[in-house]
Amino acid sequence: MNTYGRLPFALSHGRGCRVWDTEGREYLDALAGIAVNTLGHAHPKLVPALQEQVAQLIHCCNYYQMPLQEALADKLCEISGLQSVFFCNSGLEANEGALKIARKFGHDRGIARPQVIVYDNAFHGRSIATLSATGNPKVQKGFEPLVEGFVRLPLNDIARAREEARRNPDVVAIFLETIQGEGGINPTRLEVLRELRAVCDEHDWLLMLDEVQCGVGRTGKWFAHQWAGIVPDVMPLAKGLGSGVPVGAVVAGPRADTVLQP
């Protein structure tokens, strides 16, 4: 399908931060798969590890325990301060998982139509639910009706968040990118992150930070929100987590990690 405006050349291979096209031309890969290839191309430790795993076991369903998956979950919990992980295949799925946690969290508290605060210029994915949470009318056009249950606010406007807390008893979570990516590289100010953490604590909401693009070391800490000295309740991850392998994760803390059950 003609869904991407592709450039008029084809890539054949890459190494480190450089790629080559089928005509032998070399390029500096500043796009990195849109913030995915954190280790670059053909990393000498990643490639043999992938080859070894593929030779042993490519896929099994979630009915079985998977020691390497559990080891990764332990590492994610260690570096994030959270305590449980749900694995998936992409950032879109991770964000969908976060939204499902928020809705179930609300229903468990007797809220029939839970609402989630989201932000102008946000981007969380292109499924119907994540598209509805996204703050870009251009990518939403033609896919209406969008999913209900979102309240949209300006980024970095803590007064509006507190106003919504006073007037809207159906809000159950705040969901935002720590640094907006597609919306224009717009950071959530550190003091605002701290205030949002406080608002969520005061009103028994979940603070859900989308670190799909800005997480996994891209800002000099493991996760961008750590510069504010806070810990979210839910953190979707992907992109750099797999460095090109389709891996996503929903990492959750004690207020959120038991919401979803078998």
Read off the pLDDT of residues 91-100 as tens digits, 9 standing for 90 and up: 999 999 999 9
Question: Under DSSP, is residue 143 helix (H, G, I), strand (E, B) or coil?
Answer: coil
248-252 and 84-88 beta bridge pairing: antiparallel
pLDDT for 248: 98
Per the structure, the complete domain to which residue 234 belongs is given by 66-252
262 domain-assigned: no
> What's the average model confidence in pLDDT over 30-45?
96
Q: How many separate domains does the chain show?
A: 2
pLDDT digits (tens, 9 = 90+) for 112-128: 999 999 999 999 999 99
pLDDT for 228: 99
pLDDT for 221: 98
Q: Are residues 56 and 186 in the same domain?
A: no
- Using N-to-C axis directions, what is the helix angle for 190-203 and 158-167, rounded to 10°? 10
Q: Are residues 108 and 193 in the same domain?
A: yes
Q: What is the arrangement of strands in the sheet containing 26-28, beginning at the earlier edge strand?
A: 11-15, 18-21, 26-28
> What's the average model confidence in pLDDT over 221-233?
99
pLDDT for 126: 96
Counting residues of the chain whose pLDDT is more than 90, the rounded percentage is 98
Counting residues of the chain whose pLDDT is more than 70, the rounded percentage is 100
Phi/psi at 46 (5° precision): -70, -45
Q: Are residues 72 and 60 in the same domain?
A: no
pLDDT for 236: 99
Predicted model pTM: 0.95
102/116 Cα distance (integer angstroms):
7
Q: Are residues 39 and 78 in the same domain?
A: no
Quickly state the pLDDT bin for 233 (edges 50, 70, 90): very high
Quickly state the pLDDT bin for 216 (edges 50, 70, 90): very high
